[in-house]
Amino acid sequence: MQDLECGLQKAYAIAPYESIGIDTWGVDYGMLDENGALLENPRHYRNSRSAGYAEKFCAQMSAETLYQRTGTQIIDINTLFQLMSQRDQEGFSHCKKLLPMPDLLAYLLTGTVSAERSIASTTQMLSAQTGTWDLELLKAAQIPADLLPEIVESGTRNGVLTDDVQKRLSLPPIAVTAVCGHDTQCAALAAPVKTDKHIFLNCGTWSLFGTESDTPILTPQAAALGLSNEIGYEKKVTFLKNIIGLWLIQETQRELQRCGQMYRFSEIEELAVHSQSTPCAIDPDDPRFTPPGDIPGHIQSYCRETDQPVPETIGAIFRCIYESLAMKYRSALEEVEACTGETYPVIHLVGGGAKDRLLCQLTADYCQRPVIARPAEATVYGNAAIQLMAIGAMHSAEEARHCIAASETMKTYTPEKFPEMWYRMLQAIRKQER
């Protein structure tokens, strides 16, 4: 919180502003006591405490029913399962209210207690039918419903900086707007699309690959494929696949740094481009790649287990990650198209991955669709656009997207020959599943 306040103060000294919007990652939360004080620091979803809780819950309520109720991919890190772990390990005796991360930060600035809809849709506790907290689901999980705050829409004014914050930071009573609290939804709004039929790929630590829909898709097929229905601006449904993304690059970079080897992202891309090793592939969503640690070692063990060439050089390891992510995007494209019955002519790749030429070209090659890359800071654009619409300076998502597109130089990657590695990946995954 100290860093956030420092940033707000420095930004105002450079260019005074009238509104603040906060977006973060999904699923994590903070707990307030009866006096409104934070009980403890929030715990990150990569903490293993909720491991196995999805399976435990689905033993009492079927996975099919849970998906029908929430439309959310069933995965241990979701808030529902984190709270079940909290229930069993520490309980809720001192907790009076739970707030998702962006709403927690807004509360610490304004004192307003609420949950913005897009971030609420990541919890696996929001009803896909009613758009309200699913009280029957909460009862089945033995989570007190009164812990959850009122849900507000994206674009709602969330109060102003408290007197204490104003005094401490020497700031005026600046408004805080509940933008799409889930960063993915800010990025989806900023994708400079021109047609209703499109795929957006928000490529950062996670890769979120999907499309927009007016209504949730709750079919058994969608459930079996692990697709999620999340809520964006103006209650637009984003039907998407959650994929481990540049986390694999970032954590490999950190592991090498721990070993005394320093590589910038530009150097990583060049190493992968010039790798001469025999190609190999992993399933990025294999559970071994989720926790922090020795990602290069895990990649090598995965390749051994699936009878593939084992990448020995740093360049080969990074090349394996790039190829595997692009192949996973191809798989996600096929799944989304199978569930929607649509064919999508173009992929809009936004987020940090839009700066990576190798990843963009491989995505175009594997998906056999043009990839339009940029903006890299899509989340920031989307956040700002919602604030501008909230104060009437912009009037629609369409206008916002047009403005964002005009502010960026887009790069189009045309698909080339379909890579043979696709078939090797399929064989590797099948061997791993056996």
pLDDT tens-digit profile of 46-96?
888 999 999 999 999 999 999 999 999 999 999 999 999 999 999 999 999
Q: How confident is the model at residue 378 (pLDDT cuts 50, 70, 90)?
A: very high
Within 10 A of 216 (CB to CB), how many other CB atoms are there? 21
Mean pLDDT, rounded, of the chain: 95
Burial class (CB in 10 A: 0-12, 13-18, 19+), 176: buried
Name the residue with higher pLDDT: 353 or 428: 353
Question: In which band, very low, low, confident or very high, does the pLDDT at 421 lie, cut at 50, 70 and 90?
Answer: confident
pLDDT interval class at 431 (50, 70, 90): low
Catalytic residues: 183
State the burial class of residue 399 (Cβ atoms within 10 Å of its Cβ: 0-12, 13-18, 19+): middle
Q: Among positive and negative, which fits the CA dihedral 102, 105, 111, 113?
A: positive
SS3 62: coil
Let me know if 215 is exposed, middle or buried by CB neighbors in 10 A (0-12, 13-18, 19+): exposed
Please give the Cα distance from 398 to 223 (Å, whole number). 31
Q: Which of 273-287, 341-355, 416-430 has the highest mean pLDDT?
A: 341-355
Angle CA(175)–CA(180)–CA(183) in degrees, nearest 5? Answer: 115
Taking only the tens place, the pLDDT of each residue in 155-193 is 999 999 999 999 999 999 999 999 999 999 999 999 988
Cross-strand partners of 157 = 177
Task: Please report, for residues 57, 325, 415, the alpha-carbon distance to residue 196 in angstroms, rounded to integers and kept in the order given.
Answer: 37, 25, 22
The DSSP call for residue 50 is G
pTM of full prediction above 0.85 = yes
Q: Are 209 and 331 in contact (CB under 8 A)?
A: no
Q: CA-to-CA distance for 425 and 434, rounded, in angstroms?
A: 14
Q: How far apart are CA 46 and CA 62, in angstroms?
A: 25
* Average pLDDT of the residues in 95-118: 98
Query: Which residue's entry shows tokens 């400079």?
Result: 192
Give residue 430's pLDDT.
Answer: 65
DSSP designation for 227: E
Q: Which string of b and e fits 133-147 if b means at least 16 CB within 10 Å?
A: bbeebbebbebeeeb
Spatial distance between the Cα atoms of 37 and 99, rounded to a whole number of angstroms: 12
DSSP assignment of 80-142, as one string?
Answer: HHHHHHHHHHT-STT--EEEEHHHHHHHHHH----EEHHHHTTTT-B-TTTSSB-HHHHHHTT
Q: Are 181 and 383 in contact (CB under 8 A)?
A: no
CA distance 355 to 52: 36
Q: What is the C-alpha to C-alpha distance for residues 294 and 272, in angstroms, rounded to an integer?
A: 19
Which segments of 262-367 does DSSP mark as H helices, in order?
Answer: 265-273, 295-305, 314-340, 357-367
CA distances from 5 to 12, 18, 204, 369, 429 (A): 11, 15, 25, 43, 46
Residues 6+ apart with CB under 8 A from 425: 281, 283, 323, 324, 327
Q: How many residues does the structure list for the chain?
A: 434
DSSP three-state, residue 233: helix
pLDDT number for residue 57: 98
pLDDT at 277: 79
- pLDDT 10s digits, 229-280: 999 999 999 999 999 999 999 999 999 999 999 999 999 999 999 998 788 9
E strand or H helix that includes residue 200: strand 199-203
What is the average pLDDT across 125-142? 97
Nearest to residue 348, comparing CAs of 238, 234, 266? 238
For 364-427, the DSSP string reads: HHHHTS-EEE--TTHHHHHHHHHHHHHTTS---HHHHHHHHHHHS--EEE---SPPTHHHHHHH
Using the structure block, give the residue that is written with the tokens 């890190």. Answer: 77
